Chain A
Amino acid sequence: MAIAARGPSTADVVRQHLQGRRIDYKGALFQAAILVALLLSLVILFVLISQVVRGGIEVFQERGFDFLRGRLTVVSASIAGVGQGIAGSLLLMAFVVLAAFPAGIGAAVYLQEYAPDTKLNRFVNVNIRNLAGVPSIVYGILGLVIFVQVLGPLTGGKTVMAGGLTLAVLVLPIVILTTMEALRAVPGSIREAGFGVGATRWEVIRSHVLPAAAPGILTGTVLSISRAIGETAPLLLVGATTGLLATGGSGFFESLRGGYTALPVIVYRWTSLPNEDFRALTSAAIIVLLLLTLSTNAIAIILRNRYERKW
């Protein structure tokens, strides 16, 4: 910089300092890399979905609701449908809701709000995290031993009850973890405010902590349903039917102790058939399964928004 007689004005000097000249190559590279990562996953998702829709859309065009009502069969593609699969998946969902949610939310409230910070409790905490990572087939074996064999007199063996309870156990750690996370997010000042006006621990939890955590709990738990209804492996072990399913059950409660199948199991079964017609059916079944999952997630969002507005 040549120093003129008058010298540069202060503003010029400051401007020169403030003007960034370096190009942030590393930053730009990083940004590009994460953008590629995002696009890659989006492309994979798009390809998968478009494949499935292209393969399955014909089935809906030709047979419409008939496919949704049809029975599980591997004999004739023209009469096969996912009716029993939808019913089975919905029943399994009901079991997950009834069994995993109360137990999971209860366990989380205990661990987060009541349990003192002892070695034992920290050990329990770590192991719940580990359980969430256990492969689902292991839960299938667990379900086979406990719900099919040991509790056979209650569940009736390889029934929808056994399957539902197995899935409930499968998602239990996830429900506990997400609920704990939601409880942890409730500011301590809310608890103090409750205690400050003479509330008991239970009153504080029931009136303030749980309502404040409800949106988070709902989101987490309903997402765990999505996980449950997509599971195949454990259901194969605890008796989800892959072949013809007789729907004899006389009443609703009877049917809980009857044979069953589920959407992902049907997908699994039909995929393994050599018959070209079943390819399209498989795609159609996948569409139904995706729609079911998406609507479950939509319910989670709606419920969450409603709770949030209530405040």
Chain B
Amino acid sequence: MTAQETKPGIRLDTAEHAVERRPAGELVFDVQDLSVYYGEFRAVREISMSIAQNQITALIGPSGCGKTTMLRCFNRMNDLIETARVEGKILYHGVDLYEKSVDPVEVRRRIGMVFQKPNPFPKSIYDNVAFGPKIAGFKGNMDDLVEQSLQKAALWDEVKSRLKESATGLSGGQQQRLCIARCVAVEPDVILMDEPCSALDPIATGKVEDLMQDIKDEYTIVIVTHNMQQAARVSDMTAFFTAEVNEEQDRRTGVLVEYDKTERIFTNPTDERTENYVTGRFG
């Protein structure tokens, strides 16, 4: 894409304020001109951004701006929606995730997901963690793996005496950390988090945020959040999305406005819309 075909919402006019910055370090994802359609409706338009290894990248923006849609492209979760269709590329370590030969099941084994609402399986705590490794053909000591995963998720001490009890008996915060343990048990490369704390109280939120810092040496994390303080607290890079109303004024399409170091997004954003959003004047 040339500078003349300026992407809506992304100013490429001044080199100094190149809004779409590339993160430092090795890239895990390189998104190129990604558009997602639900049927005829385009949910996000021509997103380009790259995500670096062992960093926490936050996607922020008002409701309906395509953050979650974007996130669910990273592990091909949108495949489960019959009408969803993707244009453009998401290179994962250089391989396009949407190539024909790519198996979405394999993608999801490497790129795990934590959902907005804690969704433990209605089974025991142990079985929740062990399910992923089991289907992946894990041959080692399952008890150890379950313990390690729960420890990484900072949940072990709270549940070690009742691993065989139902996961649905845990509190919301514990359930969400169990979902994180379930996710890390398959030893993914990337963890996608879709507003993981929106159903949690501040104490549980704090625990999950601490946990993200603890595990970021091992994983690359992409998090969608509505909570700007959270994005500011936990992330290294932040992408601000917004929704553009199309000509007919009835559908909203998500666009990437600005992508930069978190500090910069929150202290000295380039785009006015970003500034309005992070200072609370909009959205």
Chain A residues close to B by CB (< 8 Å) = 116-117, 187, 189-200, 203, 207-208, 211-212, 311
Pairs A-B, 10 closest by C-beta atoms: A198-B109, A197-B132, A189-B119, A196-B113, A198-B108, A193-B119, A311-B122, A203-B135, A200-B105, A311-B166
| Complex: chain B residue closest to A196, CB-CB | B113
One of B54-62, B75-83, B250-258 contacting the partner: B75-83
Are A194 and B121 within 8 A (Cβ)? yes
- Which A residues touch B132, using CB under 8 A? 197-199
A-B contact pairs, 28 of them (CB 8 A): A117-B82, A190-B121, A190-B122, A191-B80, A192-B113, A192-B115, A193-B115, A193-B119, A193-B121, A194-B121, A195-B108, A196-B112, A196-B183, A197-B108, A197-B131, A197-B182, A197-B185, A197-B186, A198-B105, A198-B110, A198-B135, A199-B135, A200-B105, A203-B135, A207-B121, A207-B131, A211-B122, A311-B166
Q: Which of B106, B110, B121 has the most CB of A within 10 A?
A: B121
- Which A residues touch B106, using CB under 8 A? 198
Are B105 and A199 within 8 A (Cβ)? yes
CA distance A106 to B132 in the complex (A): 25
- Which A residues touch B135, using CB under 8 A? 197-200, 203, 207
Nearest-CB distance from B83 to chain A (Å)? 9
Are B80 and A195 within 8 A (Cβ)? yes
CA distance A199 to B137 in the complex (A): 11
CA distance A203 to B123 in the complex (A): 15
- Which A residues touch B166, using CB under 8 A? 311
Q: Is B230 an interface residue (CB 8 A)?
A: no
Q: Is B146 an interface residue (CB 8 A)?
A: no
The interface residues of chain A, by DSSP majority, are classed as: helix
Q: Is B15 an interface residue (CB 8 A)?
A: no
Q: Is B7 an interface residue (CB 8 A)?
A: no
Which residues between 123 and 155 of chain B lie within 8 Å of chain A, taking CB atoms? 123, 131-132, 135-136
| Complex: chain B residue closest to A189, CB-CB | B119
Are B108 and A193 within 8 A (Cβ)? no
Q: Is B117 an interface residue (CB 8 A)?
A: yes
CA distance A98 to B105 in the complex (A): 34
Are B183 and A197 within 8 A (Cβ)? yes
Q: Is B269 an interface residue (CB 8 A)?
A: no
- Which A residues touch B205, using CB under 8 A? none
Chain B residues close to A by CB (< 8 Å) = 75, 77, 80, 82, 105-106, 108-110, 112-115, 117, 119-123, 131-132, 135-136, 166, 168, 179, 182-183, 185-186
Are B77 and A196 within 8 A (Cβ)? yes
Are A198 and B186 within 8 A (Cβ)? yes
Nearest-CB distance from B177 to chain A (Å)? 14
Nearest-CB distance from A72 to chain B (Å)? 48
- Which B residues touch A211, using CB under 8 A? 122-123
Nearest-CB distance from A201 to chain B (Å)? 9
- Which A residues touch B109, using CB under 8 A? 197-198
CA distance A191 to B122 in the complex (A): 12
- Which B residues touch A198, using CB under 8 A? 105-106, 108-110, 112, 132, 135-136, 186
Q: Which of B80, B110, B114, B168 has the most CB of A within 10 A?
A: B80
CA distance A191 to B183 in the complex (A): 14
Q: Which of B105, B117, B131 has the most CB of A within 10 A?
A: B131
- Which B residues touch A203, using CB under 8 A? 135
| Complex: chain B residue closest to A199, CB-CB | B135
Nearest-CB distance from A304 to chain B (Å)? 15
Out of A116, A117, A200, A208, which one reaches B121, CB within 8 Å?
A208
CA distance A195 to B132 in the complex (A): 10
CA distance A194 to B119 in the complex (A): 10
- Which A residues touch B122, using CB under 8 A? 190, 211-212, 311
- Which B residues touch A189, using CB under 8 A? 115, 117, 119
Nearest-CB distance from B153 to chain A (Å)? 14
Q: Which of A192, A193, A197 has the most CB of B within 10 A?
A: A197
CA distance A197 to B75 in the complex (A): 10
Out of A187, A192, A199, A200, which one reaches B77, CB within 8 Å?
A192
With A192-B115, A193-B115 known as contacts, the answer to whether A311 contacts B131 (CB < 8 A) is no
- Which B residues touch A208, using CB under 8 A? 121
Nearest-CB distance from B192 to chain A (Å)? 9
Are A196 and B80 within 8 A (Cβ)? no
Nearest-CB distance from A212 to chain B (Å)? 6
CA distance A138 to B135 in the complex (A): 46
| Complex: chain A residue closest to B106, CB-CB | A198
CA distance A187 to B115 in the complex (A): 13
Nearest-CB distance from B119 to chain A (Å)? 4
- Which B residues touch A194, using CB under 8 A? 121, 131
Are A192 and B80 within 8 A (Cβ)? yes
Nearest-CB distance from B231 to chain A (Å)? 22
Are A116 and B82 within 8 A (Cβ)? yes
CA distance A195 to B82 in the complex (A): 15
Nearest-CB distance from B129 to chain A (Å)? 10
**Sample of 12 more A-B contacts, CB < 8 Å, known A117-B82, A196-B75, A198-B105:** A116-B82, A193-B179, A196-B108, A196-B112, A196-B113, A196-B114, A198-B109, A198-B112, A198-B132, A198-B136, A211-B123, A311-B166
